[in-house]
């Protein structure tokens, strides 16, 4: 395998910004598409009714958890720890 030429600091900086910009742009586009799909799904009365019922359920559970002492606003379930990347 041939040696890769060393990137200058300027090249590294530009490459990082290009990657960040592409990811941010694709994320925004994905969000717009997902929002459009959600609006379409909400037109189905059965799906909308189910979504509203689940939203009410978890909204109530969240409010109840917030009222409990010592929960410091934590959700009903504790957060899972992330696994280390280099295992």
Question: Which of 7, 5, 6 shows the shortest CA–CA distance to 15?
Answer: 7
Any residues with CB less than 8 A from the CB of 58 and at least 6 apart, and which?
Answer: 76
Angle at 80 between CA 57 and CA 87, to 5 degrees: 155
pLDDT digits (tens, 9 = 90+) for 23-32: 999 999 999 9
Whether this model's pTM surpasses 0.85? no
Where do the structural domains in the chain lie, given as residue ranges?
Answer: 9-67
Average pLDDT on 37-64 reads 95
Name the residue with higher pLDDT: 5 or 23.
23
**What is the SS3 assignment for 5?**
coil
């Amino acid at each position: 395998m041939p040696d890769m030429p060393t990137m200058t600091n300027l090249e590294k900086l530009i490459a990082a910004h290009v990657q960040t910009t592409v990811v941010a742009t694709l994320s925004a586009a994905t969000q717009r598409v997902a929002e459009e799909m959600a609006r379409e799904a909400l037109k189905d009365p059965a799906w909308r009714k189910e979504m509203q019922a689940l939203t009410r359920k978890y909204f109530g559970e969240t409010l109840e958890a917030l009222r409990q002492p010592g929960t410091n606003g934590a959700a009903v379930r504790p957060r899972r720890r992330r696994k280390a990347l280099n295992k």
